[in-house]
Chain A
Amino acid sequence: MITIKNLHKRFGKLEVLKDINLSIETGKITAIVGPNGSGKTTLIKCILGLVKPDKGEIRIGDVTLNGHWMYREDIGYMPQTARFPDNLTGQELLRLIKDLRRKNNSPDEEIIKAYKLQSEMNKPVRNLSGGTKQKLNAAIAFLFSPRVLILDEPTAGLDPVSSSSLKDKINKEKDSGKTIILTSHIMSEVQELSDNIVILLEGKKFFDGPVSGIVNGSKETTLERAVARIMRDAQL
């Protein structure tokens, strides 16, 4: 369980997160959605320790985040954009990440195999296509079977085949008890994958609950229409 209490974050004059209270259930997929600039990535980065909150508390299991870095052993992160040092090869990049993780268990290379990345691994990263970099990005996030997976727009930039095999992997990880947080603008994807949904609007939590609940409660037929309705009503 990830618990977020009274989280505030401000960048200069802009208040990006306003008093966020949230519980993210273990073993479930929670989608964080909202318009651009609503604070989704900032919230994720607060959990990762990349952004330091002004106020509030984040707990992952029994650990309260206090600036120490060890808790990230249990987190796999797939950032929105993949950009790696130009002159390293994919192989070297994976070796670097493996070197940094202290875990001795055999790494999960299912994604590398599914995406047939082996043939690309000896090329310098600068010669890889955007899609291949994104696949490498996914491979890194899943590499150590972390208990918590944080995926920031995971399917953006992937072709339909790669996108669906990534979704299969996400579901498989969920079935094995992982806690998964993802952000997405594609509501059909959120509906397909997620158990719970959090809607952020201008830094405030607007809705937090099961995906099925939001659709049934709004009298709309799809999640996209239900979410769009909530956002429109909120902005009026």
Chain B
Amino acid sequence: MNTTLKIVKYQLHDVIRSKWLIFYTIFFFLIAEGLFRFSGDSSKVVISLMNITLIIIPLVSIIYGTIYVYNSREFIELMLSQPIDRRALYVSMYVGLAFPLAAGFSIGVGIPFLITGFHEPGALSIIITLLASGILLTLVFTAIAFFVANLTEERIKGFGFAILIWFFFAVLYDGILLMVTYSFGEYPIERPIIILSMLNSIDLARILLMLQLDISALMGYTGAVFRNFFGSNTGIAVSFASLAVWVAVPFALGMWRFVRKDF
């Protein structure tokens, strides 16, 4: 077994037993189950779940990820005094946290769907898209958390920076987009809007879901632009590819920093 897998095995043992992860899984289970009981229609449940997912997953992933790296500081030193490559440790820490978080969300949301919502036509593709966006957002924001926590030694600074990043992408960004659309409405701004949407992973995840659900009324301006510009299928592919870049770039930056850092 290679070094990364060996460490991942023990990281998983550690994270899976964390009461926070169990709480996170139960939280999604209760929300999804509750929504099914009130609504019963998969599409409506997905839309409500989507709004929760787009806020909660980035927030939990970035905060939990930052705390996790800071709390592992002494353990990282111990690991790095063993004959292992820094890259292997970084990858295993990332996988050891991001995978259980993604699994917690998938299990919490997936079980109510399996029990209640699976009989409806098209439910499978909807739930797969919801799970995929949730998993990708977990990977993106855990990668950002790892980068931020390796950037500065001061916990308070790192933690504040992490929350600021979440606030910017989850709350402020939509306002900025709206302002841009409003101010430059008379110009052909489709392309700049598409680029601006791609620069926000939360927006991408939302567009991905909206295109899959194909509900024009809820698509919003960016969703509609995406569909008109790419068509639904290409739009979905472009969103997926952009989200993959969103995982890869912060992950690579974090690793670059980790390899060069003094512990």
Contact = CB atoms under 8 A, between A and B. Distances in A.
Interface of A: 11, 45, 48-52, 69-73, 75, 77, 79, 81-88, 92-93, 95-97, 99-102, 124, 140, 150
13 contacts: A48-B81, A50-B77, A50-B80, A69-B86, A83-B73, A84-B78, A87-B15, A88-B13, A92-B13, A100-B6, A100-B84, A102-B83, A124-B17
Given A70-B83, A87-B18, 11 more contacts: A49-B80, A50-B81, A72-B81, A81-B74, A84-B75, A87-B15, A87-B17, A95-B10, A97-B82, A100-B6, A100-B7
B72 interface: yes
Max chain A Cβ within 10 angstroms of own Cβ: one of B7, B10, B260: B10
Nearest to B3: A100
Nearest to B16: A87
B14 interface: yes
Contacts of B10: 85, 88, 92-93, 95-96
Contact of B83 (A52, A73, A86): A73
Max chain B Cβ within 10 angstroms of own Cβ: one of A50, A93, A102: A50
B104 to A, nearest CB: 15
A229 to B, nearest CB: 33
B5 to A, nearest CB: 10
B85 interface: yes
B74 A82 contact: yes
A50 B14 contact: no
Given A79-B74, A79-B78, A52 B260 contact: yes
Interface residues of B, number: 28
Interface of B: 1, 3, 6-7, 10-11, 13-15, 17-18, 72-75, 77-86, 260, 262-263
Q: Is the interface of A mostly helix, strand, loop or mixed?
A: mixed
A86 B85 CA distance: 23
Nearest to B79: A100
B69 to A, nearest CB: 12
Contacts of A99: 1, 6
B14 A87 contact: yes
Contact of B262 (A51, A73, A84, A95): A51
A69 to B, nearest CB: 6
A209 B2 CA distance: 43
A88 B6 CA distance: 14
A69 B14 contact: no
B7 A96 contact: yes
Contacts of B85: 69
Contacts of B74: 79, 81-84
Contacts of B263: 45, 50-51
